[in-house]
Amino acid sequence: MPAAFAISPAIDLIDVPRRIVLTGLPAGAEVTIAAETPRDGHVWRAEAVFAAGVDGSVDLGRDAPLRGDYAGVAAMGLIWAQTGSGELFPADLSRPLETTLTARIGGETIASGRFSQVLMADGVTRHPLAEDGLVGTLFLPAGEGPHPAIMILNGSGGGINEPRAALWASCGVAALALGYFGAPGLPKYISNTPLEYFARGLDWLRARVRPQNDFVAVAGQSRGGELALLLGATFPDKVSAVLGYVPSAFVHGGQAAADPALGRDGPGWTLDGKPLVHQWQDNATASWKPYDEATETRRNADAMLTALGDPAAMARARIPVERIAGPVLLLSGGDDGAWPSDFYSLIVQSSLLAAGHPHEVLWRNWPAAGHSILFPYTPATRIAHRHPVSGIATTMGGTPAANAEANAGAWETALAFVRRHGGQAG
């Protein structure tokens, strides 16, 4: 029997893991399996060498590679270990990501297979938003609904997170990816972003979608996680639930996304036309020195930790999360290179529990993961990068394996959380 791949499922949403089995091999034979995925014009690739079992098969969910781009048993290791350049997702999200698997023995290709990761399910519709000063993209699930709704907020890289909103809609949740800087029609920098802009966005989303049980959650990544907690605390009547990916418990200044004219210590957020107090203001111990003078890998978290030495300044900048009027989900990495999201999440959880928060407070932490807890079953190899606004090279922390575990676990947790509180059947 010739060698052949069995891939199940061959076509499904990107958040669905695949079973990949290669059969028809000589027992004990060493076989190299490679995975190639074109991503927005660039091919991302990973490979590993396996030994066939006594039954003549290699099962990626059972067998660890002998050597290669990842170690240990990982059914989707040939996806999260991929390296390449450019964006992870195509500009047209209706196009699935197509991965080709090849198996080679002694340099000869003996089998090939293919599977598709769908970002935008059949029936999901995309609606650009550019009205009342709001800029973003709304993704609506298939079917008439009503559906729970969620607002998706990016972090200090700015832009509009359409892939994440498309996946939420594919799972039955109306999702608005709202931009607030770094996209056409929006400011270039995060500095002095008014919180009222997001209140307007929440009102628009609620009126447009008329969500199931009037449920509108806010989910954000990094600075967006800080922002999600801020919005829940500032507009508790508008926010049904908060999902903070690697969030902060404190208000921060402009930092890497700041307008150079105002500087990284200038304000990030405003309310009623006034800058919010942030943790670097009048802080006796806060210093950029550990970051600025790093001779090897720069970790923004090293500077953030210095601010914790002034409890009074940190208290002034703490987000009053006890004002949030709904459930809160916190997702963090223990090796976060951007800021200590695990410690920040602990502070948020402790503040809520101490206040007798009447709703669910769920915190999940991946001790070896970094700041880039992003998207399930995608490459997790970008540990260090140049910040898209400041251009400064920095590390986000973690390892590809740990970040991949967090990517999958965070999405599974977030989806279950929204379904549980939004009244949606799983």
Which uninterrupted H or E stretch holds 5?
A: strand 4-8
Which uninterrupted H or E stretch holds 275?
A: strand 274-275
Say how far apart CA 96 and CA 170 lie, in whole Å: 13
In the residue annotation, 372 being an active-site residue is answered as no
Does residue 9 have a cis bond before it (omega within 30 degrees)?
yes
Sign of the dihedral through C-alpha 57, 62, 67, 69? positive
Q: What is the SS3 assignment for 67?
A: strand
Tell me if 217 sits within 8 A of 150, measured CB to CB: yes
Which residues have C-beta within 8 Å of that of residue 404, sequence separation ≥ 6?
Answer: 74, 76, 77, 80, 81, 380
Q: Which among 57, 156, 191, 222 is annotated as catalytic? A: 222
Say how far apart CA 74 and CA 407 lie, in whole Å: 14
First-to-last alpha carbon distance for the chain, in angstroms, is: 41
Q: Helices in 259-366 by DSSP H: which ranges?
A: 289-292, 300-306, 311-317, 341-354
Neighbours of 9 (CB within 10 A): 12
In the residue annotation, 336 being an active-site residue is answered as yes
Q: How would you write 102-165 as a 3-class SS string?
A: EEEECCEEEEEEEEEEECCCCCCEEEEEEECCEEEEEEECCCCCCCCEEEEECCCCCCCCHHHH
Give phi and psi for 346, each to the nearest 5: -60, -40
Q: Which among 302, 310, 335, 336 is annotated as catalytic? A: 336
Q: What is the SS3 assignment for 405?
A: helix
In the residue annotation, 278 being an active-site residue is answered as no
Angle of the 223-234 helix axis to the 196-209 helix axis, nearest 10:
80
Say how far apart CA 289 and CA 230 lie, in whole Å: 28
- Active-site residues, by number, are 222, 336, 371
